[in-house]
Amino acid sequence: MADDSDKLEVMRHSASHVMAEAVKALFPEARFGIGPPTDEGFYYDFELPRPLTPEDLPTLEAKMREIVAADLPFHREECDKARARQVFADQPYKLELIDDMPDGEVISIYRQGSFVDLCRGPHLATTGQIGPFKLLSIAGAYWRGDERRPMLQRIYGTAFETQEALDEYLHRLEEAEKRDHRKLGKELDLYSIHEEAGPGLVLWHPKGAMVRQVIEDFWKQEHLKRGYEIVYTPHIFKAGLWKTSGHWEMYRDSLYSPMDVDGQDYIVKPMNCNGHILMYKTKVRSYRDLPMRWAELGTVYRYERSGVLHGLARVRGFTQDDAHIFCRPDQIEDEVIGVLDLARFMMQSFGFADYQILLSTRPEKYAGTIEVWEQATAILKRVLDHVELPYEIDPGEGVFYGPKIDVKLKDALGRAWQGPTIQVDFNLPERFEVTYVGQDGQPHLVAMIHRTVLGSMERFMACLIEHYAGAFPVWLAPVQAVVIPIADRHLEYARRLEAELRAEGLRVQVDARSERMNAKIREAQLQKVPYMLVVGDKEVEASAVAVRLRSGQDLGTQTLAEFKAMARSAIAARE
């Protein structure tokens, strides 16, 4: 029996075994993969004689309830490889797992009733101790995450200690489904991804591109204010550059295969840093020139397995809001403080008040010496302590060339999204001999700070869509106002309003369709347009507009000057 502190995890793990027993009862020929607990529930992978459908889940749940009601004890057994292979002789996926275990390792097996599974445990004492549960969905999953291996069927479920906690979680799931950026991205005509073009490659539609442009323009303005310079680098480089940097060795699985160009290997860039380093090295730099802050909205390409691609949140081609700061070692702390200040300003500007900070330390595969890693990690820790930001240590999650500060944004539902990152790097400057001339007239290695303050435009857009449920604040909305003429005779006035408001910098459209006014209002609300400007005879005569909000609130008639002032105020306040 587990301690109370991890009882929920143990309960969910036990529930996954009960689910597997239910599947075995309905499909005796089932072959079993793995069934671990997760942060929010559990899953189990199966090879079954037919595809499952959502209609199968209530049947499986009913069978699980029978098993829970039977209050069957979980029995642990220990054996060697030979015995384990006998027990699971008809289960090829279990046999593969057994064969991968070190010789001589004690193997544990758990039984409840007639069901037996290969498992390290621990489990509850009996099935009857499993709390309220729910099976949630069915998905496909490659065996061991490898698309070259068989596709199994994965059943997701969850379990909680009380019905109230389960109901609350299911409500959050309903809200998350309504906010799903893949669903809203299609409904709001923001972007698309096409099998013909390639999985994980995003096509930005006009509305999505407009939101992105507003974000990028704001990003550039704020960087210029803070002493950054904007640069651009190519999408492909010679492969040898990535061998020098260590990406070829440390990051190979994420790089696309080289292409032959005039007999030499090139690859599409996975990162922007090497290009910035080459630009830095075009001149001899003095200590007086530093720090140099170079920013780039640079598009990069990284291979991701098809099974983990997820809308805009996990893609193969994405644009980083990247920057690299070249500085002296004595400038690092001040520069990191400046980046944190910019990151906090950006998060606040986009409506994120809650976030989690992690200090990610040396991974298993790393470049450089342990001493250099400890030096860089200590700098980041001192900065976080100095600015009095609470943080947690995230062991082994740094990048191969340096430790980093990771900021996880919390959206309206409390879910965490990868946001700003700040990395201190002494390794790439050494590999590329990136130096400055010091006061002593001698060359010294620069320190590099790699950083983003949004992450990637794609993932940040996914986060924004779900945070606001598609109802962007006025300053970000792709269409800020729709002019709705009641009848065709009001169309000329509507067009004049459109032109005048556009001249003021507002993003406005006229709904000239021959639909009823209420249908046009409903369509604008579905498109989550902040303002609907209804114009009829009264408005034409008074040179005014009847203003409605997407919430359904009717603000009544306003003069055009009053509406402009209201809209400008909302945009300036980034409401």
Which residues are tagged catalytic? Answer: 273, 302, 320, 322, 324, 404, 450
CA distances from 432 to 236, 279, 283, 285, 429 (A): 19, 12, 14, 15, 5
DSSP summary character for residue 303: -
CA distance 268 to 432: 20
Q: Cβ-count burial of 152 within 10 angstroms (0-12 exposed, 13-18 middle, 19+ buried)?
A: buried
Indicate the helix (H) or strand (E) that contains 107: strand 107-112
Angle at 467 between CA 529 and CA 554, to 5 degrees: 30
CA distance 216 to 223: 10
CA distance 455 to 312: 12
Name 393's bridge partners: 359
Report the number of secondary-structure helices (H) and strands (E) in the chain.
Answer: 18, 27
Q: Can you say how many angstroms the Cα of residue 218 is from the centroid of all Cα atoms in its chain?
A: 21
Contacts for 159 with CB less than 8 Å, ≥ 6 apart = 8, 11, 12, 15, 41, 42, 130, 131, 132, 133, 134, 166
In order, the DSSP letters of 334-360 are HHHHHHHHHHHHHHHHTT---EEEEEE
Q: Cβ-count burial of 513 within 10 angstroms (0-12 exposed, 13-18 middle, 19+ buried)?
A: exposed
CA distance 244 to 274: 9
- Assign 220 to helix, strand or coil: helix
Name 355's bridge partners: 409
DSSP summary character for residue 307: G
Tokens of 535: 């114009």
Report helix angle 206-225 to 457-467, nearest 10: 110
* Half-sphere exposure for 393 (CA within 13 Å, toward CB): 8
CA distance 361 to 383: 15
In order, the DSSP letters of 454-477 are EEEHHHHHHHHHHHTTT---TTT-
Contacts for 63 with CB less than 8 Å, ≥ 6 apart = 22, 25, 26
CA distance 443 to 218: 37
Contacts for 330 with CB less than 8 Å, ≥ 6 apart = none
In order, the DSSP letters of 237-276 are EEHHHHHHHTHHHHSGGGSPPPEEETTEEEEE-S-SHHHH
Indicate the helix (H) or strand (E) that contains 572: helix 560-572
